[in-house]
Structure 1
Amino acid sequence: MIDKSKQGPTVMRNGDPAVRSIVQAGIRLILEQQTPGGAYPASPSFSAYAGYCWFRDGSYIADAMSAAGHIESAERFFDWCSNALTSRTGRIRRIVAESLAGRPVAGDQMLPTRFTLDGAEGSDDWWDFQLDGYGTWLWALAEHSARHDRPLARWAEAIDLTVDYLSVSWQRPCYDWWEESAQHVHVSTLGCIASGLASIAQSGLIEESLSERAASTAHQIRRRVQDEGVQDAHLTKWLGTDTVDASLVSLIAPMNFLSPHGPLSAGTIAVIEEQLTVDNGVHRYLADTYYGGGQWPLLSCFLGLAHAASGNRTRAHELLEWAASTAGANDELPEQVDHHLLDTDHLQPWNERWGSSASPLLWSHAMFIRLAIALGLPYDTADLTPAPTAKESAK
């Protein structure tokens, strides 16, 4: 268990202008950093992230921008995803055909989790075989369509490819959200896939046979999770274990895999609060050593979204306040902070290899925006046009 005896950082009230300032800064940052082709770089200043866009991170960023009313930004990202998929149509069709024939391709031949900003695949080694992001992009697309009454025809081919790819691949072990533990089938991954498939099937805007295939696969995944991914009335980190991971709360909200008012949601929230939350900062999982096992603002926001959806808005406000307290210069939110480290011996080696924690992290800003909007906190939408780049200013 985590030692909860230490006090965390002083928090601010979320009615404070500082919270609204962070929301505005996050929207502006995302608009400034998005490429003309639609990619959202994970972090502009962290070496391993700057030149890459993840389907996972990007989909949550697009959802936040959609919720904030920036329709064009979200749709440019969906275009980027669509182009990444349709440019690999032959590869995806081969993966599907081989899987259906009982000859699934090796993990290094599956689609990667991240792409360069122009949609190419990176040349450096990475923990690439991850499935959750492809489900998350379907979910974000369906949410956006429903939120703004937008048609899906422009992404029809990419949707078809994604449904087929996930329908034959969802049972395979792969890396999790954190690019670890590739030998397991992760419950967060399954939930993201099922949410994406179910959401796109329920849109009523795709071809009937494709919708039926997506819905059927989502139903199979739900049964698998119920049978093998639940222990002691809570979701588990992967199938067949009793440990937990903070990414699980995303399946309550915003992913809607679980009913927010059901007993499984209540049990999952309770165990994440008990095992992984200290002074409102949330760890990934108990055995985490990355950056010494720090606390992640985006995970506090995910937990806040789960609480808000289940009706505990007071707790959601507290979690948003903690995330706001981690902001640095220019209201920038980091990937994680070194409060209540789980393994202090790993912090110095991490800093020597990578430097300080990635900041700003666009995904952190996205989840802060998303929780603030879910709580109905006001923010000024005026004057959020991206500042000109140095190159543009010189013209």
Structure 2
Amino acid sequence: MAGAAEDGARTGGAKPSGEAPGGPGDDAGFAPADKTGFGTSRTKESHVWFTLQGGRMSETYYPDLSTPASRQTQLVITDGKSFVERLSDAETRTELCGQSGAPAYRLTSRGTGWCAVTRYVTDPGRSAVLVDVEVRSETGAPLQVFVLHDPSLSGEGNDDSAFPRDGMLVAEDRHAASALAARDGFAESTVGYLGVNDGWSELSENNGKLKHHYATAGPGNVVQAGRLRMDGLTRTRQTVVLGFGEKPAEAVRNARRSLRKGFEAAASAYERGWCDYLAGLRETPGSLRAPGDRALYTASVVTLAASEDKLNPGAFIASPSMPWAFGTDRHIAPETGSYHLVWARDLYHIGTGLLAAGDHDAADRAMDHLLRSQMDDGHWSQNHKVDGTPFWTNIQLDETTAPMLLAWMLDRHDAKTLKHLRRGADFVLKFKSEEGYKAPFSPQERWEEQSGYSPSTIASAIAGLVCLADLMQRGGQAADAARYLEAADEWRESLDGWTVSTNGPHSSKPYYLRLTKDGKPDSGTEYELGNNNEGKADQRTVVDAGFLELVRLGIKPADDPVIRNSLTVVDRELAVDTPSGRHWHRYSGDGYGEQPDGQPWIVDRPEVKTTYGRVWPIFSGERGEYELLCGDRQSAAGRLRDIARTAGETLMLPEQVWDDRPPVPREKSGKGTRSATPLAWTHAQYIRLAWSVESGTPVEYPTVVAERYLHR
């Protein structure tokens, strides 16, 4: 590329030249999913998000939240002779350092005779991440500090090209570009291919020295490295910027302008934006008296708000992460996914969480996004990218009825909303599965792994139809509502016959099953659980707590004897007491989690025989909502504390926490696994339960359903 010689002369170091050999480089996965940081500005002008994990900046997302743009950006520190260490190899403490809850972070890392402090924000005025870098030698010996960047533009890191431009390290593919810059430029730099001649390979194999200084590489899995002009003694501070754009010129321009603005000015504007947003919401619930609980509540609101795409308002993703094989295995995930996508079910939880926090506009935007992303036949896709493009394409009936529940919470009975919701309801009423079963039989239930009659799916379907009928009456369409109510009533009368076993092995009394394959809960129908479970399970042996949705959604009373007996069964079969309180597995035999030795979940590998799904904090929230409906406010408040105890050092709430058998001593029972963290659903559940405890009843309780079935 033209400009290589010029850039080398400007930096004053070894002049990069020539093209790196050995492409396209090794295939690479993304960083683990247990994030310790997630941030973006509140502005629409800045289309970039960053994550932190393991002492480094892990994935950044640009130009939207369904598109990873890099795998990692981190420092390498060396004395040039005896040690070469990455921040991800060091002991690191991560702290929230934003005022009033803004998602700004400070990482303090210590290695062999050095200490590094890095701070991270995004520039509210443009698509750029700024990193304030401070490195100090603790021995008096000079240090060399490199920044290592692994681009993965457009979500695909194997087709990038890299070259220098205007003193920056630039990468591009057909759709996007990035520019890595330092305030004082790079003293030397190189580009190479991962696992062949990338910067880390060069430094680690040559005692902290770059043996080669290549100028260009690609297309392939390129990695960029540049030495900062700092020695840890007389020069200890530096600003690093990662700018993005559709083309290299835009990425370079954004990086340059952010450097000119400076870290402190960008950080001040970043914090003001978040403080202004939070000031417009409800005060923290009075029941959260401890400072740590109040901070977690604020962090939960911020996490949900940060999870909204800026190009596609109302598109809130499930998590800015790619857990386990979803981030590393091309067979399972040929395209990056599936958590940084929109799921109608998760969006319902996020929307009701933000509504409880006082952000009515965000919940309305979520509803508007659902209307825009509805499929032509009326159902909502299993999940979709933030622009509405379907990703996984199976059908889950509760994801088509969840929008009806959210619309009722928002009192959306305008003609446009009702038109969309009625299309969804008509799809459900006409649905017939490949096995020949009619709704509410669903091709997938809420855990997305099995077809059948599921209590949680049926609960959503019944409540959704009743809520829709109520909206229609308010919208002047009462004459057409009767058929939806008729179906809801019929399903309520039939649901126990489809899902309650009277002869199962867990109790001599009736109890709800996770699901039945055939609507015959007293038959010993067998099915494969999946997730590395060998053989088949009798459907009467598999339970979950999904039946609590029947109570939360006003279909069954809290003191229903089958509900109470089912709770006894679930507590015996699925509950685990941890130092973070009592939490529950998803269902009997769940294998969606790490291998016995803590290695990542993966399927379809002959050498992986067993994986263990751990326990989920969201179930503490669901139990707390049930206890409120039983009139037990004190126990519900205890569940809120249990969720809070699972938070990490920066108040991220995980998808799963270790149960009573963590694989190695460093893992702590009751703390987050390598599952998706932060999980928006968990944060939404925490917010909702906090307000529910405050009010004494679940804040998302559809009273119109309870009036129909419980209070006649």
Equivalent in 582, 588, 593 of residue 286 of structure 1: 588
- CA offset digits 1:250-285 (Å, max 9, x no partner): 3322x2232224333333333333322222111111
Are 1:362 and 2:651 an aligned pair? no
Hey, what does 2:499 align to over in structure 1?
Answer: 229
Q: Secondary structure at the match of 1:220?
A: helix
User: Does the 8 A contact of 2:453 with 2:498 survive in 1?
Assistant: no
Say if 2:395 is the partner of 1:129.
yes
Return the alpha-carbon distance in structure 2 between the equivalents of residues 198 and 374 of structure 1: 22
Tell me if 1:327 matches 2:327.
Answer: no
Distance 1:154 1:340, change over 3 A: farther
Whether the 8 Å contact between 1:191 and 1:257 is mirrored in structure 2 is yes
- What is the deviation of 1:142? 0.9
Structure with more relative contact order (C-alpha pairs < 8 Å, separation 6 or more): 1
Match for 1:80 among 361, 369, 376? 369
Secondary structure of 1:356's aligned partner: coil
SS in 1 for 2:395: coil
2:380 and 2:347 map into 1 onto residues whose CA distance is 16
Question: Which structure: greater helix fraction?
Answer: 1
Alpha-carbon shift at residue 219 of structure 1 (Å) = 1.1
Contact 2:299/2:651 (CA < 8 Å) preserved in 1? yes
| Cα shift at 1:45 | 2.5
Indicate whether 1:185 and 2:453 are aligned.
yes
Q: Measure how far apart 1:167 and its partner are.
A: 1.3
Work out whether residues 39 and 53 of structure 1, in 8 Å CA contact, stay in contact via their aligned partners in 2: yes
Shift in alpha-carbon separation, 1:160–1:377, aligned structure 2, 3 A: closer
CA contact under 8 A between 2:440 and 2:457: conserved in structure 1? no
Amino acid at match of 2:366: F
Measured after TM superposition, the shift of residue 295 of structure 1 is: 0.7
Superposed displacement of residue 330, structure 1: 2.1
Match of 2:319 in 1: 43
Please, which of 247, 251, 263 is the counterpart of residue 561 of structure 2? 263
Residue 359 of structure 2 is aligned to residue 70 of structure 1: yes
**CA 1:62/1:237 → structure 2, altered by over 3 Å: closer, same or farther?**
same
How many angstroms apart in 1 are the aligned matches of 2:682 and 2:556? 23
Which digits, 9 at most, give the CA deviation of each residue in 1:142-197, with x for residues without a partner? 1232xxxx544341221111110111222444112111123x22221111111111
**Structure 1 residue 371 displacement after superposition:** 0.8
Q: How does 1:118-197 map to 2 (within 5 A)?
A: 118-122=387-391, 126=392, 128-145=394-411, 151-169=413-431, 170-182=439-451, 184-197=452-465
Q: Is the 8 A contact 2:550 2:556 kept in 1?
A: yes
Question: Partner letter of residue 361 of structure 1?
Answer: L
Change (3 A) 1:234 1:140: farther
Task: Give the Å deviation of 1:131.
Answer: 1.2
TM-score, with length taken from structure 1: 0.76
Q: 1:363 corresponds to which letter in structure 2?
A: W
Q: Is the contact made by 2:463 and 2:555 (CA closer than 8 Å) also made in structure 1? A: yes
State the AA in 2 paired with 1:277: A
Is the 8 Å Cα contact of residues 34 and 41 (structure 1) preserved in structure 2? yes
SS at match of 2:388: coil
User: Is the Cα contact below 8 Å between 2:453 and 2:499 reproduced in 1?
Assistant: no
The amino acid of 1:42's aligned partner reads A
Once superposed, which parts of structure 1, at least 4 consecutive aligned residues long, lie more than 4 Å away?
A: none
Q: Distance in 2 between matches of 1:120 and 1:188?
A: 26
Q: Separation in 2 of the partners of 1:43 and 1:340? A: 25
Correspondence list, 1:269-348, <5 A: 269-279=567-577, 280-291=582-593, 292-340=612-660
In structure 1, the gaps of 5 or more residues are 1-12, 93-109, 349-354, 379-395
Q: Following the alignment from structure 2 to structure 1, what is the Cα–Cα distance between the partners of residues 576 and 474?
A: 43
Q: CA deviation at 1:27?
A: 0.9
Indicate if the aligned counterparts of 2:395 and 2:442 stay in contact, CA closer than 8 A. no
More deviation, 266-275/299-308 = 266-275
1:329-362 superposed Cα distances (whole Å, 9 cap, x missing partner)? 32110000122359x69xx9xxxxxx92110000
CA distance in 1, matches of 2:383, 2:492: 26
* AA of the residue aligned to 1:26: S
Distance 2:413 2:440 in 1: 30
1:25 aligns with 2:291: no
The TM-score normalised by the length of structure 2 is 0.44
Which one-letter code corresponds to 1:271 in the other structure?
A: V
Q: Deviation at 1:127?
A: 6.7
The alignment-based identity, stated in percent, is 25
Are the equivalent residues in 2 in contact too, given 1:332–1:360 (CA < 8 A)? yes
The whole-number CA distance in structure 2 between the counterparts of 1:271 and 1:127 is 34
Q: CA RMSD in A?
A: 2.5
Q: Aligned equivalents of 1:75 and 1:332: distance in 2?
A: 25
Quote how far apart the aligned CAs of 1:42 are: 0.4
Q: Structure 2: how far apart are the matches of 1:202 and 1:374?
A: 23
Q: Which residue of 2 aligns with 1:250?
A: 549
Greater displacement, 361-370 / 196-205: 196-205
Q: Which has the higher strand share?
A: 2
1:334–1:358 Cα contact (<8 Å) kept: yes
Q: Secondary structure at the match of 1:299?
A: helix
- Report the alpha carbon displacement of residue 377 of structure 1 after superposing the two structures with TM: 7.9
**Match for 1:167: what amino acid?**
L
The CA deviation at 1:248 is 2.4
| Letter of the structure 2 residue corresponding to residue 112 of structure 1 | S
SS of the residue aligned with 1:278? Answer: strand
Q: Is the 8 A contact 1:43 1:361 kept in 2?
A: yes
Q: Distance in 1 between matches of 2:635 and 2:414?
A: 36
State which structure, 1 or 2, has the greater radius of gyration over its C-alpha atoms.
2
| TM-superposed deviation, 1:50 | 4.4
Tell me, yes or no, if the aligned pair for 1:294 and 1:339 is still in contact at 8 Å. yes
- 1:2-55 CA-partner distances (Å, limit 9, x unpaired): xxxxxxxxxxx9642222221111111111221242011000123534431000
Match of 1:214 in 2: 484
Query: Shift in Å at residue 318 of structure 1?
Result: 2.0
Q: 1:23 to 1:223 in 2, by over 3 A?
A: same
2: CA distance, partners of 1:341 / 1:317: 27
Q: Distance in 1 between matches of 2:365 and 2:422?
A: 19
d(CA) in 1 for partners of 2:681, 2:414: 25
User: How many Å separate the matches in 2 of 1:191 and 1:377?
Assistant: 24
Do the aligned partners of 2:309 and 2:315 also contact (CA within 8 Å) in 1? yes
Alpha carbons of 1:113 and 1:309: their partners in 2 closer, same or farther (altered >3 Å)? Answer: same
What is aligned with 2:474?
Answer: 205
Q: What secondary structure is seen at the aligned counterpart in 2 of 1:45? A: coil
Other structure's SS at 2:384 match: strand
Q: Give the aligned length.
A: 328
Structure 1 equivalent of residue 692 of structure 2: 374
2:341, 2:297 → 1: CA distance? 23
Match of 2:259 in 1: none
Call closer, same or farther: CA 1:302–1:341 in 2, change over 3 Å: farther
In the alignment, which residue of structure 2 is the partner of 1:238?
515
Summarize the Cα distance change of 1:361–1:338 in structure 2 as closer, same or farther, 3 Å threshold: same
* Structure 2 stretches lacking a partner, 5+ long: 1-286, 328-336, 432-438, 502-508, 522-538, 594-611, 668-672, 697-712
In structure 2, C-alpha distance between the alignment counterparts of 1:127 and 1:273, rounded to whole Å? 34
Partner of 2:385: 116
- CA displacement, residues 44-99 of structure 1 (integer Å, 9 cap, x when unaligned): 123534431000111111111112221101010000111112xx33x34xxxxxxx
Superposed CA deviations along residues 176-228 of structure 1, whole A, max 9, x for unmatched, are 2111123x222211111111111222343242244212211111211221222
